[in-house]
């Protein structure tokens, strides 16, 4: 089955700890995205990547880091510099280009602080 797989579903972070959220897709999509969703709010873009070995900061990149070493994988690290990490994290990949681009989401990771 083609799709976007995020793991783990739930993740707990201790003070001062870095944690990494996994995102893998087998849809052969070039573009991948990370969003953060807080209760009652829309999605905010953290990072995005349009090709392997290249990525750009989104609106709220501070305290986060990413890598794109393979087309299929776009892991997100939440560093200890992110002081308010509790949120629902969504990975997405996109098919099409420009105005024909459509975004599809993984199942999400709920990150909480212990």
Partner 1 sequence: QKEVEQNSGPLSVPEGAIASLNCTYSDRGSQSFFWYRQYSGKSPELIMFIYSNGDKEDGRFTAQLNKASQYVSLLIRDSQPSDSATYLCAATGGSWGKFQFGAGTQVVVTP
Instruction: Report the interface residues with partner 1, using CB under 8 A.
Output: 33, 35, 40-43, 45, 48, 58, 90, 98-108, 110
Residue 94 CB, shortest distance to partner 1, in Å, is 8
What is the Cα–Cα distance from 101 to 87, expressed in whole angstroms?
26
Judged by beta carbon, residue 80 or residue 110, the one nearer partner 1 is 110
Closer by beta carbon to partner 1, 3 or else 17: 3
Report the residue number, 61 or 80, with the smaller CB distance to partner 1. Answer: 61
Residue the block writes with tokens 């797989």: 5
Nearer to partner 1, 18 or 97 (CB): 97
Alpha helices in the chain (DSSP H): none
Residue 8 preceded by cis peptide, ω within 30: yes
CA 36 to chain centre: 8
Beta-carbon count within 10 A of 23 CB: 24
């Amino acid at each position: 089955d083609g799709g976007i797989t995020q793991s783990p579903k739930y993740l707990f972070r201790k003070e001062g700890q870095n944690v990494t959220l996994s995102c893998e897709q087998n849809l052969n999509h070039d573009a991948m995205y990370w969003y953060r969703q807080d209760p009652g709010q829309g999605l905010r873009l953290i990072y995005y990547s349009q090709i392997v070995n290249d990525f750009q900061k989104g609106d709220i990149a501070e305290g986060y880091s990413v890598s794109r070493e393979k087309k299929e994988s776009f892991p997100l690290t939440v560093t200890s510099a992110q002081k308010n990490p509790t949120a629902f994290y969504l990975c997405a990949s996109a098919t099409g280009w420009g105005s024909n681009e459509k975004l599809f989401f993984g199942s999400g990771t709920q990150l909480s602080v212990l």
